[in-house]
Amino acid sequence: MIQKLPSCEELKNWSNEKKRIWLSGEIDTFLKAFVFTQTSDEHMDEFVTGVNELDTNQRDGYPCRECGMLFKYHSTRVEYVMFTE
């Protein structure tokens, strides 16, 4: 299952579109092999819920787990939590 990356010389000659298609194919192969091995409705619902939660946090901000304060970036929330401990 280990895929070899194209050489630097080969990548330099690829268009952005070709790079995008190649990477998309690699991600698709990975997801089919390791994420979507169990395709029950329950597992898919959990996956979709997780993706939606990440998307919501990215749009609305990342809430502190202790005080609920919203941060634009996850890294800022981490720094805040580490500073307040």
Mind listing the pLDDT tens digit for each residue in 26-84? 888 888 777 777 666 667 778 788 888 878 777 888 888 888 888 888 888 888 888 87
Whether residue 77 sits in one domain with residue 44: yes
pLDDT for 10? 92
Task: Enter the pTM of the model.
Answer: 0.45
Domain that holds residue 56: 39-85
Structure tokens at 78: 């981490």
Cα separations in angstroms, 71 against 38, 68, 81, 82: 34, 9, 11, 14
For residue 49, what pLDDT is reported?
A: 84
How many domains would you assign to the chain?
Answer: 2
Burial letters 62-71, b for 16+ CB under 10 A, else e: beeeeeeeeb
Tell me, what's the pLDDT at 16? 93
19 and 52 together in one domain: no
Do residue 29 and residue 50 come from a single domain?
no
The answer, yes or no, to whether residue 14 has pLDDT greater than 70, is yes
Give yes or no: residues 43 and 33 share one domain. no
Q: What's the rounded Cα separation, in Å, for the pair 31 and 37?
A: 8
6 lies in the same domain as 25 = yes
Burial zone of 57 (CB within 10 Å; 0-12 exposed, 13-18 middle, 19+ buried):
middle
Do residues 46 and 83 share a domain?
A: yes
Same domain, 46 and 32: no
